[in-house]
Each structure stands twice: as structure tokens, then as C-alpha cells.
A and B are shown apart, each in its own frame.
Chain A
Amino acid sequence: IAGITQAPTSQILAAGRRMTLRCTQDMRHNAMYWYRQDLGLGLRLIHYSNTAGTTGKGEVPDGYSVSRANTDDFPLTLASAVPSQTSVYFCASSEFSGSTDTQYFGPGTRLTVL
């Protein structure tokens, strides 16, 4: 059982390029989340999905988009990357949303935008 996987592990990207970060979970969790983690700041929610077919905006959604075509996959797309999007990105999942279920995190993607 892998839990949550993310790809790539790390990436250096030129500003203006499009990039998709992949996230897959095998726990059949309904809810999935994308966070970014920056030094000196707490994890900040970018987008979330309560169940397949639905998505919602978090605290810092600008410049990012997501889709949830099925239960397992929740890709995050940067349409035109900017240096301020340099960060570590974590995908997470929980059995249900709107509850206090534990969130399980993927290993993260370290993204550098030059």
C-alpha cells in the first residue's frame, strides 16, 4: 500500500512555463487537498476536493487550478509559473471532508521557478 504518491519529487522550472504536479492516493479517500509550505509560514491550502467531480478554493488559489476526475487522482496545474510559486507542495487526503478526519500527506514536490 503506497498511500499517497506525488510526482515529480523536485523540479526547476522557467517562469512562464506550464507545470502539472501529480498526486495519487490508493486509500479510497473522498477528500483531497493541495498545500504549499514556505519557510516561516504554516501550510497554506491552495485547493481542495470534497469528493470526485468537485473542487473548491483554499486560502491561496490564484495562479493554480485543479481537477478531480476520479477518486484517486488530484493534479495541480500552474498555468504560467512565477518565481513566487517557488515552494514545497504537499498533497493530502482524508476519508471525509467537513470533519476532523486525519489528513495523510504525500512526500511533497519541491518546485523552483526561475
Chain B
Amino acid sequence: GQNIDQPTEMTATEGAIVQINCTYQTSGFNGLFWYQQHAGEAPTFLSYNVLDGLEEKGRFSSFLSRSKGYSYLLLKELQMKDSASYLCAVADSNYQLIWGAGTKLIIKP
């Protein structure tokens, strides 16, 4: 079966750095997405990785290792507005997105 695993909840301090991990087992791989979802709102796109390595976009970076079936989202200089759920999703062989349950990130002052 297809499976995406990510931690249920993480806590971090304002101004710090946090890494949210995602491991996957899917039938085929056509890229990995990270989305941000604030409580009661729609998911919004953060990043896309299809090749191994690190993609940096401002305070957010995303890493992919296809051989390990592993990705992480790195958030730097955390701000209170970063409190949200972070969803990992993999595009399978049919380009359908398989979603993890999300990681709820709590930022404390």
C-alpha cells in the first residue's frame, strides 16, 4: 500500500529552527510537495522537490532523498504566524497526490 508518515505534532520556540520529517512509500514517484494549512483554512503550496537535494525559498527549505524515501521541511527564524499544520504529499505513478496526515507545529514565544 501507499503510505506517508510525518510526526503528529511538534513544538518550537519563536526565532528558532525546526525540521519536519516525512517518509514515504508509494507506487511510483513524481515529486514531493509541502503545503501549509492554518487552522480552519485551505492548504497552500510551499515547495516541490523532484530531484535529490535541498531547495531553499526564503526562511523555508525542503530536502529530498529519493533512495531513502525521505524529505524534510526546514523552517528558520520561526515566527508566531508559522503556527500551522504542514502537509507532505507525494505524486504517485498516476500523478495523483498521496497525502500525509500533517504535522501540527506549535510556536511558543
Contacts and interface: CB of A to CB of B under 8 A. Distances in A.
B101 interface: yes
B80 to A, nearest CB: 22
Interface string B61-93: 000000000000000000000000001010100
Contacts of A58: 96
Interface residues of B, number: 24
B42 A99 contact: no
Contact of B99 (A43, A48, A107): A43
B43 interface: yes
Interface in A35-59: 40-45, 48, 58
Contact of A100 (B41, B50, B87): B50
A106 B43 CA distance: 9
B54 interface: no
A40 B102 CA distance: 8
Contacts, number: 48
10 contacts: A42-B98, A43-B89, A58-B96, A90-B42, A90-B43, A100-B30, A100-B50, A105-B42, A107-B42, A108-B41
Contacts of B50: 100
A42 B43 contact: no
Nearest to B40: A108
Contact of A42 (B31, B41, B101): B101
B37 to A, nearest CB: 9
A100 B48 contact: yes
Given A58-B96, A98-B95, A100-B48, A43 B43 contact: yes
Main secondary structure of the interface of A (DSSP, over half): loop
A90 B87 CA distance: 14
A84 interface: no
Interface in B1-49: 4, 8, 30-31, 33, 41-45, 48
Contacts of B101: 40-42
Nearest to A96: B95
A97 interface: yes
A37 to B, nearest CB: 9
Most buried by B among A42, A45, A98, A106: A42
